[in-house]
Chain A
Amino acid sequence: MTTLSRTATDSATMLRRNLRHVLRFPDVLLMSLGLPVILLLLFVGVFGSALGAGLGGAAHGGPYIDYLVPGIVIMSAGYGATTTALAVNKDMTEGIIARFRTMAISRSSILIGHVVAATTRTLVSVGLVLVVALLMGFRPAADLGAWIAAIGVLTLLVLALTWLAVAIGLAARNAEGVSMFTLLVQVLPFTSSAFVPPDSMSGAVRWFAEHEPFTPVIDTLRGLLLGTPVGGDAGAAVAWCVGIALGGYLWAKALFKRDPTG
């Protein structure tokens, strides 16, 4: 068997294993919907009118839910990444990765299986959040091209977060070690343009919100879905995603190659 066909065969085996985990525990997938949907209900139902009024032109005259959904969708991508980091860490600490390493298999298949499964799972949960949003009255104005671009941006972000999550999962000594990452991907959207535009924030928070990676990605997605101009955000969004994906990939690869300790 050639190296390439072995990589493909083994990756497919690993992918089946990881997807089986997801299907066996659908509650993990539902959980990743839980918080984004609760936030959606809370912000639209409770704060919606107040925030919507306060936003002025930023919501482009539409209801607050139209402004909010891109941010919530990104949050669910963050949750997906948390699940990924925990799954990789579990494999690592429970020794099954060590077992795979003593077998004559394609080593890269282990990470490829995780990345493909995690990306698929996260995109499914992102899609489900979008469906809930549509049922709640989200009315995107995107044409086909904009939808394709939006899905492209989302996939790129999910891929970037997934590689980062894989590296974190490999690096952490135990599940607690993953919690910093969990905190990070859950807090960063709050200090971005997800709920209100950075213009309405003050001082250091505003500077941070304007410069953190989630803001350009959310703004790009919002522009694409609402049919408003995207501008320079798209470039920044793609740059951030590619940077994070590449950094995560190289970090994960280095971690995976090193002599496992402990």
Chain B
Amino acid sequence: MTTTASRPAVKVAGLRKSFGDHVVLDGIDLEVAAGTVFALLGPNGAGKTTAVRILSTLIGADGGEVSVAGHDLAGDPEGVRGAIGVTGQFSAVDDLLTGAENLVLMADLRHLGRVEGRRLAAELLARFDLVGAAGKRVGTYSGGMRRRLDLAMTLVGDPRVIFLDEPTTGLDPRSRRTMWEIIRELVGDGVTVLLTTQYLEEADELADRIAVIDHGRVVAEGTPGELKSRVPGGHVRLRFPDTAGLDAAAAVLGEVSRDEDDLVLQVAGDGGVRALRDLLDRLDRAGTEVAELSIHTPDLDDVFFALTGQPTTEKDGAR
């Protein structure tokens, strides 16, 4: 059988889910092309995990159509399970077994046979830099090692579609980089990856396409470049020592967005030298003193802010 390039690996239409009267997914549409990385980007509580749990057959949906690797989720969940690999938000590894035993367990459950199971376990341990810890109990592993083992276990049996729920949350920067490299390699092998993240930077780094979700809805979808282009331009951020300064500057500058609590004004503009000099001249003439100035080029954070009117959790310092 040849797979046609146009056939999406994951197709979701009108997906809905509520817990009681709390609507968590409010009609989600997604299409993930085979062999690409798709990021579901959203703050804590947006419904990312709920979506992954539905797509991986763990919980049922209240409505909508889903197909994964050509299998209908509702009609053929067993077919879906045969095609996917899942790494959940929290590591699901057997603490009491060793890393190698965890991998062999997965191989046994995929019916790969004893010899092939061991060979594959050894190969994955090497690939995920776990050879030294292969014979140690997973209970003694660091967070990054557990995460890597978790992903290695997901790869046993060569799933064609992989779901990764916040694969790097809680990892130190170095482990995060390693994880990114591993994910890029997977896609090189033709695997389709659907990942969720709260980190705009991560989606930007990894994804071919991004869906921004907020309160159970897709509020934007596109390539990282497309999303960035939806924010008209950058801005200059000015912080003032007191409210009087803020007021005076606001009066001079006209149309600006202001943040009373932080004593900050945001002036639209790309931060070019001319525009910047002009801005400072006007403030000078009005006699206002600026405590701090920063130039902001548009990034996905701005996209999120522009689309939802809220900063992401990341900005709240939740990282």
Which residues of chain B from 81 to 100 have any CB-CB distance to chain A below 8 Å in the complex? 81-82, 84, 86, 88, 90-97
Segment with Cβ contacts to A, from B103-111, B215-223, B287-295: B103-111
Contact of A105 with B by CB under 8 A: yes
The reply to whether B57 and A9 contact each other, CB–CB distance below 8 Å, is no
The reply to whether B105 and A17 contact each other, CB–CB distance below 8 Å, is yes
Contact of A204 with B by CB under 8 A: no
Segment with Cβ contacts to B, from A94-102, A152-160, A188-196: A94-102
The reply to whether B56 and A104 contact each other, CB–CB distance below 8 Å, is no
On chain A, the residues within 8 Å of B59 by CB distance are 259-260
Most buried by B among A13, A100, A261: A13
Contact of A1 with B by CB under 8 A: yes
Per DSSP, chain B at the interface is loop
The reply to whether A102 and B60 contact each other, CB–CB distance below 8 Å, is no
Which residues of chain B from 31 to 54 have any CB-CB distance to chain A below 8 Å in the complex? none
On chain B, the residues within 8 Å of A6 by CB distance are 111
Q: How many residues of B contact A (CB 8 A)?
A: 28
The reply to whether A101 and B105 contact each other, CB–CB distance below 8 Å, is no
Tell me how far the C-beta of B129 lies from the nearest C-beta in chain A, rounded to whole angstroms.
22
Q: Knowing A21-B96, A94-B95 touch, does A102 contact B111 (C-beta < 8 A)?
A: no
On chain B, the residues within 8 Å of A98 by CB distance are 58, 88, 92
CA of A25 to CA of B94, assembled, Å:
14
Contact pick for A25, options B81, B82, B90, B96, CB 8 Å: B96
Contact flags A1-25 to B (C-beta < 8 A → 1, else 0)? 1000010011001001100110011
CA of A98 to CA of B93, assembled, Å:
10
Contact of B78 with A by CB under 8 A: yes
The reply to whether B58 and A101 contact each other, CB–CB distance below 8 Å, is yes
CA of A120 to CA of B90, assembled, Å:
31
On chain A, the residues within 8 Å of B96 by CB distance are 20-21, 24-25
The reply to whether B57 and A101 contact each other, CB–CB distance below 8 Å, is yes
Q: Knowing A95-B88, A99-B86 touch, does A20 contact B97 (C-beta < 8 A)?
A: yes
Interface residue ranges, A against B (CB under 8 Å)? 1, 6, 9-10, 13, 16-17, 20-21, 24-25, 94-96, 98-105, 259-261
Known: A94-B92, A261-B19. 11 other contacts (CB 8 A): A6-B111, A17-B105, A21-B97, A25-B96, A94-B95, A96-B93, A99-B86, A101-B57, A102-B86, A103-B109, A260-B59
Can you sample 26 A-B contacts with CB below 8 Å?
A: A1-B111, A6-B111, A9-B111, A13-B108, A16-B108, A17-B94, A17-B105, A20-B101, A21-B96, A94-B95, A95-B88, A95-B90, A95-B91, A96-B93, A98-B58, A99-B86, A101-B57, A101-B58, A102-B56, A102-B57, A102-B86, A103-B110, A104-B81, A260-B58, A260-B59, A261-B19
Interface residue ranges, B against A (CB under 8 Å)? 19, 56-60, 78, 81-82, 84, 86, 88, 90-97, 101, 105, 108-111, 137, 153
